[in-house]
Structure 1
Amino acid sequence: MKRWMLFIACMGGLMNSVRVNAQSEEEKRLIAASQADASPLYFNPDTKEVPSVEPGHFFDAKECNVRGGLPNFLTKLKAGKPVTIGYIGGSITQGAFCYRPQSAKFISSMFPGIKKTWLNAGVSGTGTDLAACRIHEQLLKYSPDLVFVEFAVNGAYAPGMEGIVRQIIRFNPNIDICFIYTLANGQTTAYQQNSIPSNIEGLEKVAEYYKLPSVHMGMEAAQLEKEGKLIWKGAADTANGRIVFSNDGIHPLHAGGNLYAAAIARAFIKMNKAVVAAPHALPAPLITDNWEDGVMIDPLTIASFDQKWTKVTTATSGLKQFAGWFPYIMKGSVPGASFSFRFKGTVFGFFDIGGPEVGQLAFAVDGKPVKLQTIAASGYRLKKVSAGGAGVADLFNSYCNNRYRGQYELIQVPDGEHEVTITISPLKSDKRAILGPKQLEDITANPGKYDQTVFYLGKILLRGTPLPPATSKPVATSK
């Protein structure tokens, strides 16, 4: 999908003990609908297009929990050394003016004359499960000095959040980490009642355990709403002089993004004090089943493909908008096309591209066909092998109406060594029924575009470690 979808979106355990706000179906729809294409990894906040924000006069001592602060990052800045800052999150992080560039511009202004590199690893509509798999590929290999982590409205899945933290510390204990919390529609009430949203409570337990700073970015907006000066969800023509934070209750407009960024500005002023650089400790896990073992892998480095697959260089294809995530994709379009890989662990999956032509997949684990059942839980996307599940996984969904989007699947298996085979199924879903009566214009005008069984594989996801293939298979053709 063109970048305008995301631009409009932003303009316009603990597993059992963590309490997570149940997302409404509308919130889930908005988050899923925001899934689009990749943004450039590098961004420059020091342009006239990026609004400048000021800290303002709002004060709440609980807005920023400093804890261990940002000692390594600030020490480098105070010494005049170049730094790299990464942001990882969902659509609010990926989006144009939802907070990220404004906050970066303020931080840059605090420390002028120092070289700063800015990284945007936001992926719309995704949570900490995928983030724990992709953080090395999309952030850590660029050696950041500071990582902002934003996933409160994208499930607030604490095991994934801890997995992100532990991977960062294990990669380089001198990288500082800051949790930042956004809000969904209706959550301002918690702040107005001198509390915090219950989903954020679970993330705060992780922050407290690892002594990481955290910023409640929605506190000022909640106060303005309480005072009748802000509408959290609405249209400009109903504002009557009030600030309209968002059109949809999740993705901030410019003014809402400025309020979020101002909270980070105040947090930086609060944390910018005398510090002593020190590596972060890596204690025993808080959550036993955290996602520290998440990994994202180029398909050809782990899998064997039959001759029915084609390697497509994304940047020179019709899907070049995904080149930031996938330098190449493996394209299969013939029923029966398959690939296999081996790994040791508990979860396998893939990061792919959805669109009108995508089809369905069948799975075999350790040589036996398996059925998959969705695990009903808030905060992560997971299926499990189950005799009572479905025989295929459908890549097509209601958001694939005349558009392309990044999407992913994760499948749980018993811990151990496994060989996985994924095959394009000849079965075709009823795409008209999936789209619904309000989305039939394109499929009616272009039925052949939808009557296909394509799979665009971008990355293989694991919780565990890849193993060498048991047998060699023909190398896929390329173009």
Structure 2
Amino acid sequence: MSGAASKPEIVRVRGQLANTKRKLAEGELTVGFIGGSITDERAGHNWPEPVTRWLVANYPQVRFAVENAGIGATGSDLASFRAKRDLIDRGCDIVFVEFAVNDNGVATDRRQKTREGLLRQLLASGTTDVVLVYTYCQDMYGPMSEGHMPPSIEEFEVLAEHYGLSSVWMGMHAFQEVKAGLMRWEEWLPDGLHPTERGSYSYGRSVIGYLQTALASVDEQAERADAGAAAGLPKPLDPGHWQEVSFVPFEKVRTEGPWTVRRWVTLEWIERALSTSAIGAKLAFSFDGRGLALAFDFGKNSAECRYRIDGGEWKETSRERPAWCGPTGWLKLETITDDLPGGRHEVELEVIHGNKPDCAGTRFDLAFIGVIS
């Protein structure tokens, strides 16, 4: 992978955080976070907490707002559909992106498309600084113990170089603390993935170290260059990136069977859901674009479906339900396709049970219909 060095540098500084410095000087800063369970605010102790506390303690004259959009067991694909509502429309001045772990099991071509689309959305206005942060999962042990970057991180670094984004390898910072005897492994990751409060503090300290350096530097010429570069994005590395996404309103969906559109009160990231529990219930809708993704309130009680596009062959979903998965409560994205010819397409869908041992119910709770253009 050209363009990304393999030596284990923890912090790589690119750019000057011009927007963040300006907003700090004005006395008001909105900080955004997006990632998986390692970032999710509901844990109460994850790494955004020490980072936020450091900012508040060191800039007492500034009013801070925090928009933590992290959700466990989600990746950059779902984030591409969430960026506008949960970060951009909330006026984030700086956003920390953490998906090296949750994208780890996704094929390179797919994860690079979704990552690049997410980053281009965040950078498009030129008024948001973006910092990439990388945590740790057990698959990364081999490369890291040999001083190399795991592929998921190395590929993120290619995007960081292309878009001039600073990055912080939080996982390497904690890994080196363990190697130095400053922290025991079980203090960091008792389950091999999710950090304890001590592990989260280690992650946070690496980001704080970056911010101490980046926010203390003053380079007005570079800051002006930063602002000018951000206003005009470079050409994408992958023309199939997911920057242009939209939604099919439920009001445009044709239904057959007992469906309801209801306000969703059981999962905070869903505003409304199109819902049924009837096997054989059907949907049909049209969309303009090259890709389609469906998001669900998913779990062991969720039904599967079969679908076809433009009158083609029927296909069935067969989603994994890991042991940790509950009956509902997982905001899960199912990517149907992202390589259709551009233009108008017709979709037909029918709810089926799934006939699998781990498919224990017939709930079909559709959070949104996402379109990739």
Give the TM-score range, shorter chain.
0.7 to 0.9
Give the direction of change, closer, same or farther, for the CA distance of 1:303–1:71 in structure 2 (3 Å limit). same
Deviation sequence 1:430-472 (CA, Å, 0-9, x none) = 33xx38xxxxxxxxxxxxxx4x4220111112212xxxxxxxx
Deviations 1:144-186, CA, capped at 9 Å, x for gaps:
111110011112522222111111222x112111111111126
Judging changes above 3 Å, is the alpha-carbon distance between structure 1 residues 155 and 83 closer, same or farther for their aligned structure 2 residues? same
Is contact 2:8-2:172 (8 Å) kept?
no
User: Compared with structure 1, are the counterparts of its residues 325 and 212 closer, same or farther at alpha carbon in structure 2 (3 Å cutoff)?
Assistant: same
* Alignment map for 1:179-328 (pairs within 5 Å): 179-185=132-138, 187=140, 190-191=143-144, 193-232=146-185, 234=186, 244-272=187-215, 273-275=217-219, 276-277=223-224, 278-279=227-228, 280=230, 281-295=232-246, 297=247, 299-306=249-256, 308-315=258-265, 320=266, 322=267, 324-328=268-272
Q: 1:18 to 1:126 in 2, by over 3 A?
A: farther
How far did 1:288 drift? 2.4
Unaligned runs of 5+ in 2: 105-110
- 1:414 aligns to what? 340
* Cα distance change on mapping 1:139 and 1:304 into 2, 3 Å: farther
Corresponding residue SS for 1:202: helix
Say if 1:152 and 1:199, in contact at 8 Å, map to a contact too. yes
Amino acid paired to 2:280 = G
Q: Residue 253 of structure 2 aligns to which amino acid in structure 1?
A: A
Asked if 1:457 is matched to 2:341, the reply is: no
Could you tell me whether the CA contact under 8 Å between 2:73 and 2:330 is conserved in 1? no
Q: Matched residues in 1 for 2:164 and 2:80: separation?
A: 19
Contact 2:285 2:348 in 1 (8 A): yes
User: In structure 2, how many angstroms separate the alpha carbons of the residues matched to 1:428 and 1:129?
Assistant: 24
- 1:62 match: 9
Residue equivalent to 1:48: none
User: What CA distance in whole angstroms lies between the structure 2 residues aligned with 1:258 and 1:396?
Assistant: 32
Amino acid at match of 1:118: V
- The number of residues matched between the two structures is 352
- 3-state DSSP class of the match of 1:109? helix
CA contact (8 A) 1:163 1:291 kept: yes
2:291 corresponds to which letter in structure 1? V
* C-alpha spacing 1:135/1:302, structure 2 compared with 1 (3 Å): farther
Aligned equivalents of 1:403, 1:456: Cα separation in 2: 9
Aligned to 1:31: none
2:108 maps to: none
Contact preservation (8 Å) 1:70, 1:271: yes
Task: Quote the sequence identity (%).
Answer: 28
| Equivalent in the alignment of 1:165 | 119
1:396 CA displacement: 7.1
Distance 2:181 2:320 in 1: 43
Matches of 2:301 and 2:138, distance apart in 1: 34
CA contact (8 A) 2:301 2:327 kept: no
Contact preservation (8 Å) 1:353, 1:457: yes
Residue 29 (structure 2) aligns with: 83
CA pair 268-196 structure 1, distance change in 2 beyond 3 A = same
Moved over 6 A (4+): none
Picking from 50, 73, 77, the partner of 2:20 is: 73
Asked if the contact 1:169–1:282 (Cα under 8 Å) also holds between the matched residues in 2, the reply is yes
TM-score with structure 2 setting the length? 0.86
Give the whole-Å Cα distance in 2 for the aligned partners of 1:64 and 1:146: 17
Cα distance in 1 for partners of 2:169, 2:365 equals 38
Instruction: Name the residue aligned to 1:430.
Output: 356
CA distance in 2, matches of 1:110, 1:304: 54
Q: Give TM-score scaled by structure 1 length.
A: 0.68
Change in CA separation of 1:197 and 1:71 when aligned onto 2, cut-off 3 Å = same
Q: Secondary structure at the match of 1:410?
A: strand
- Quote how far apart the aligned CAs of 1:419 are: 0.8
Offset at residue 258 of structure 1 (A)? 0.2
1:192-222: CA deviation from partner (whole Å, max 9, x where unpaired): 5444333211111111111111111123322
The reply to whether residue 393 of structure 1 matches residue 317 of structure 2 is yes
Look up the match of 2:107.
none
Alpha-carbon separation, structure 2, partners of 1:61 and 1:403: 39
RMSD across aligned C-alpha pairs, in angstroms?
2.6
Instruction: Provide the secondary structure at the position in 2 that maps to 1:459.
Output: strand
Helix, strand or coil at the partner of 1:415: coil
Q: Are the counterparts in 2 of residues 362 and 422 from structure 1 also a CA contact under 8 Å?
A: yes
Are the counterparts in 1 of residues 280 and 350 from structure 2 also a CA contact under 8 Å?
yes
CA distance in 2, matches of 1:123, 1:305: 30
CA distance in 2, matches of 1:137, 1:78: 26
What is the 5 A alignment of 1:18-57? none
Please say if 1:132 is aligned against 2:80. Answer: yes
